[in-house]
Amino acid sequence: ASGSLVVAVAFAGLALLAYAGIHSFWWGVFPLMALMGLGMALVVSPLSTAVMTAVEDKDTGAASGINNAVSRIGGLIAVAAMGSLAAWVYAAALNSGAASGIPGFGEPAPDVDAARLAASDAAFAAV
């Protein structure tokens, strides 16, 4: 239970970093991600031990495989959910005009459009 609490505290800290400045990696994000890693280590190891000791010796291979498969599926679902959340937040920020007034946001600059065309022309020529 302590590992879950550590992970929850790290997630809450990361949520509070939404209000931090752009240069907050070393004092904000990095320590919280390290704390999250510590919390996950406190959760995953006992969980795997509980799974492996809950089955008979002859079924440990199957239990290990199922534990691994469920872990991977959970990771895939988390990545898909976070990707969807990131896309939603990004789209909402663009629609609200949150980036207006910042050079490079809003409408594409002519130089960026020219660079995009040059890169796509070079890629097409390489093929």
| Rg of the chain on CA atoms, in Å | 22
Over residues 50-93, the pLDDT tens digits come to: 989 999 999 999 999 999 999 999 999 999 998 898 888 877 77
For the record, the structure tokens of 27 come out as: 């004092």
Question: Does residue 14 sit in the same domain as residue 41?
Answer: yes
pTM over 0.75: no
What is the C-alpha separation between 6 and 43, in angstroms, rounded?
9
Question: Does residue 4 sit in the same domain as residue 31?
Answer: yes
Please give the tally of structural domains in the chain. 3
pLDDT value, residue 62 = 94
DSSP state of 26: I
Residues 6+ apart with CB under 8 A from 100: 106
Q: Which residue type occupies 11? A: F
Structural domain containing residue 90:
56-96
**Closest among 94, 48, 102, 91 to 70, alpha carbons compared:** 48
